[in-house]
A and B are shown apart, each in its own frame.
Chain A
Amino acid sequence: MVKTHLQLNKSSAPGLALALVIGIALLLASCSRSRPPAIDTSNFSRVTDEAGRTISLPHPVTKFVSLAPNLTEIVFALNAGDGLVGRTTYCNYPAAAQRVETVGDTLKPSIERILALKPQVVFVSTASQLEAFTSQLEAHQIAVYVTDSHDLEGVFRSMRRIAELLGKQAEAEALLHQLDARVKAVEEKVAARPPVRVFYQVSDEPLYTIGRDAFITDLLKRAGGISVTADVPGAWPKFSAESALAARPEAIILPTGGSMGNANSNIAAALKRSPAALHGRIYKINDDHLSRPGPRSVDGLEELARALHPEVFEN
Chain B
Amino acid sequence: MSARATFKRTSLICAGLFVALVIVIVLMSLLGSEKLPAQSAVCALLSFGKQSCGLTSDQSAILFDIRLPRILLGAAVGASLAVAGASYQSLLRNPLAEPYLLGISNGAAVGTMVALVFLGANEWSRPLLAFIGALLATLLVYRLAQGRTGASPERLILAGVIVTTFLSSAIVFVTTLMDATRIRSFTFWLLGDLSGTTSKLLWLALFIAIAGTIVLTAHARSLNLLMLGERDAFDLGVEVSRVRLVVFVVASLLVGSSVASSGSVGYVGLVVPHLMRLSLGSDNRITVPAAAICGAIFVVVADTLARTLIAPRELPVGAITALIGAPLFVYLLRRN
Contacts and interface: CB of A to CB of B under 8 A. Distances in A.
Given A245-B62, A248-B58, A273-B65, A240 B313 contact: yes
A52 interface: no
B313 A233 contact: yes
B254 to A, nearest CB: 22
Interface stretch (A39-47, A117-125, A258-266): A258-266
A239 interface: yes
A238 B180 contact: no
Given A206-B188, A208-B185, A243 B195 contact: no
A268 B66 CA distance: 11
Nearest to A238: B314
A207 interface: yes
B196 interface: yes
Contacts of B181: 202-203, 260, 263-264, 287
Nearest to B199: A269
Nearest to A269: B198
Contacts of B182: 203, 263
Contacts of B65: 269-270, 273
Contact of A107 (B61, B67, B180, B313): B180
A249 B41 CA distance: 23
Interface string B16-55: 0000000000000000111000000000000000000000
A130 to B, nearest CB: 13
A234 interface: yes
A243 B58 contact: no
Contact of A240 (B188, B193, B307): B307
Given A232-B312, A273-B65, A243 B33 contact: yes
Contacts of B61: 245, 273
A240 B184 contact: no
A105 interface: yes
| Size class of the contact patch on chain B | 20 to 34
B248 interface: no
A13 interface: no
Contacts of A131: none
A279 to B, nearest CB: 15
A151 interface: no
B32 A242 contact: yes
Contacts of B312: 229, 232, 237, 239-240, 243
Contacts of B183: 107
A240 B32 contact: yes
A216 to B, nearest CB: 14
Given A90-B180, A106-B180, A234-B313, A206 B195 contact: yes
Contact of A260 (B32, B34, B179, B195): B179
B40 to A, nearest CB: 15
| Size class of the contact patch on chain A | 35 or more
A242 B313 CA distance: 11
B33 A273 contact: no
B66 A205 contact: no
A207 B313 contact: no
B88 interface: no
B311 interface: yes
A308 to B, nearest CB: 22
Interface in A204-259: 204-208, 229, 232-234, 236-243, 245-246, 248, 259
B189 interface: yes
Nearest to B63: A242
B185 A237 contact: no
A208 B184 CA distance: 10
Contact of B313 (A238, A248, A270): A238
Contact of B195 (A90, A105, A202, A207): A207
A246 B58 CA distance: 7
Interface in B300-320: 307, 311-314
Interface of A: 90, 105-108, 202-208, 229, 232-234, 236-243, 245-246, 248, 259-261, 263-264, 268-270, 273, 287
The 4 nearest A-B residue pairs measured at CB: A205-B196, A243-B312, A240-B33, A242-B62
22 contacts: A90-B180, A107-B180, A108-B176, A204-B196, A205-B185, A208-B184, A232-B312, A238-B314, A239-B314, A240-B33, A240-B314, A242-B33, A242-B34, A243-B311, A246-B58, A248-B58, A259-B179, A261-B179, A264-B181, A268-B196, A269-B198, A270-B66
Given A242-B66, A246-B34, 11 more contacts: A203-B182, A205-B185, A207-B196, A232-B313, A237-B312, A237-B313, A240-B32, A248-B58, A261-B179, A264-B181, A270-B65
